[in-house]
A = this chain, B = another copy of it.
Amino acid sequence: MKDFVFQNPTKIIFGKGKISKLGEEVVKTSKKVLLVYGKGSIKENGVYDQVISSLKSYGIDFAELSGVKPNPVLSKVHEGVDLARKEQVDGIIAIGGGSVIDSSKTIAAGFYYEGDIWDAFIGKYKAKKSLPIYVVLTISATGSEMNGGAVITNEKTKQKYSFWSVKSYPRVSILDPSVQFSLPKIQTANGAADVIAHVLELYFDGSRNVQIMDEISEGIVRTVIDSTNILIKTPDDYEARANLVWSATLALNGINGTGRSGGDWASHAIEHSLSALYDIAHGSGLAIIMPAWMRYTYKEDVEKFARFANKVFGIDELDHEKAAIMGIDRLKDWYKSIGLPVSLSDAKIPVESVDKIVENAAMRTPFGRLKKLQPSDVKEILNLCV
């Protein structure tokens, strides 16, 4: 087990109807907040009204930034920073999933930075200060509700990069599983693929002697699979939804990464190049890329891939190489079974895209920890996705 430092200050308020607690928390730091949200589905499912009602009952004023898109972009962040300054807010409330939360974190850090906050994504600036951030979660996937990370796409440079800061942990995140009942099934499936990817990026990073972490990782994956299987049929099953929601948060709140080597993250890197160039949901991109990455790299750690097959899918095959492949195939089949694409053609991305994605990824290669990938490796992995 590797040395580590772990601290996570985010307060989680979990349960049906808990959005009413928002004002009580926000008033501790803020008098006027910027509400950040997406296309406005929150106005249809009642979440927006619950937020406004809670803020009003504590006399909290607000401005609004709507229209944050999936694979959120830097220009929207700039718009948010300008608005936050103009409106002189002293806090930010993200109402949404990863895209909204990550945009909010970036706006919150950008508020105090004189340069372009993109500098935080390319290592030129270390965020020292941030507006306090509050989250009302409407889709479980990224785990951003309980960590200090954010992923943003710079549309000009076609770079989808991330930053992390100890200042970017939300103060409070409200997780009401029932607000996710109305999600389209494909979004639940995309979220599940994202959660599993977070776990597996950490799980398959070549770490040794991390039994307690492996046990937790496997438990999260089993729970995500079981819960998603129920939700694909019954989207308003509260208990399955609650298990998926909390598993998604636990998958990337830091606990699961303790004692490990830092994660592999090559699948995410390749997917970020894919979704920086093509309009595809992050979870769908991962459902395509990750099994291909697993297939390409499993020989680096056959034992661990065989363990995965056994612990997650109950595969009892003594030949570990066979077991490893069976486990990867089962994961891919499961993605298919919940309606996710598992090839570029499933996602209607042209074969010619491979070279473009490789070129984009080459801005950051080499990446990956289990196997350090060069552009030629990325190309071979993408060829497995055609």
Contact = CB atoms under 8 A, between A and B. Distances in A.
Contacts of A8: 8
Interface stretch (A48-56, A57-65, A75-83, A241-249): A241-249
A212 B243 contact: yes
A310 interface: no
Interface string A65-81: 00000000000000000
A18 B250 CA distance: 26
Contacts of A12: 4-7, 258
A216 B8 CA distance: 18
A290 to B, nearest CB: 21
Contacts of A243: 1, 209-212
Interface stretch (A93-101, A104-112, A220-228): A220-228
A352 interface: no
A258 B14 contact: yes
Given A211-B227, A259-B242, A6 B1 contact: no
Interface in A1-56: 1-16, 18
A226 B6 CA distance: 24
Contact of A242 (B7, B209, B227, B246): B209
A11 B5 contact: yes
A335 B304 CA distance: 30
A215 interface: yes
A93 to B, nearest CB: 18
A328 to B, nearest CB: 22
- How many copies of this protein are present in the complex? 2
A239 B9 contact: no
Residue from the set A10, A243, A258 with the largest chain B CB neighbour count within 10 Å: A243
Task: Sort chain A's interface into a size bin.
Answer: 35 or more
Contacts of A220: 212, 215
A223 B227 contact: no
A181 to B, nearest CB: 15
A218 B7 CA distance: 24
A82 to B, nearest CB: 33
A183 interface: no
A243 B13 CA distance: 29
A339 interface: no
Nearest to A21: B5
Residue from the set A212, A220, A227 with the largest chain B CB neighbour count within 10 Å: A212
A255 B259 contact: no
Contacts of A13: 5
Contacts of A218: 215, 219
A5 B14 contact: yes
A1 B219 contact: no
Contacts of A15: 2-4
A4 B14 CA distance: 5
B6 A9 contact: no
Contacts of A9: 7, 9
A238 to B, nearest CB: 8
B250 A212 contact: yes
Contact of A222 (B4, B5, B215, B258): B215
Contacts of A215: 216, 218-220, 222-223
A380 to B, nearest CB: 34
Given A5-B12, A7-B12, A14-B259, A226 B246 contact: no
**7 tightest A-B CB contacts, nearest first:** A215-B219, A3-B15, A209-B239, A7-B11, A1-B242, A6-B12, A212-B223
Given A7-B12, A216-B216, 15 more contacts: A1-B238, A1-B246, A3-B14, A3-B16, A4-B12, A7-B10, A12-B258, A14-B258, A208-B239, A212-B223, A215-B216, A215-B222, A215-B223, A219-B219, A246-B259
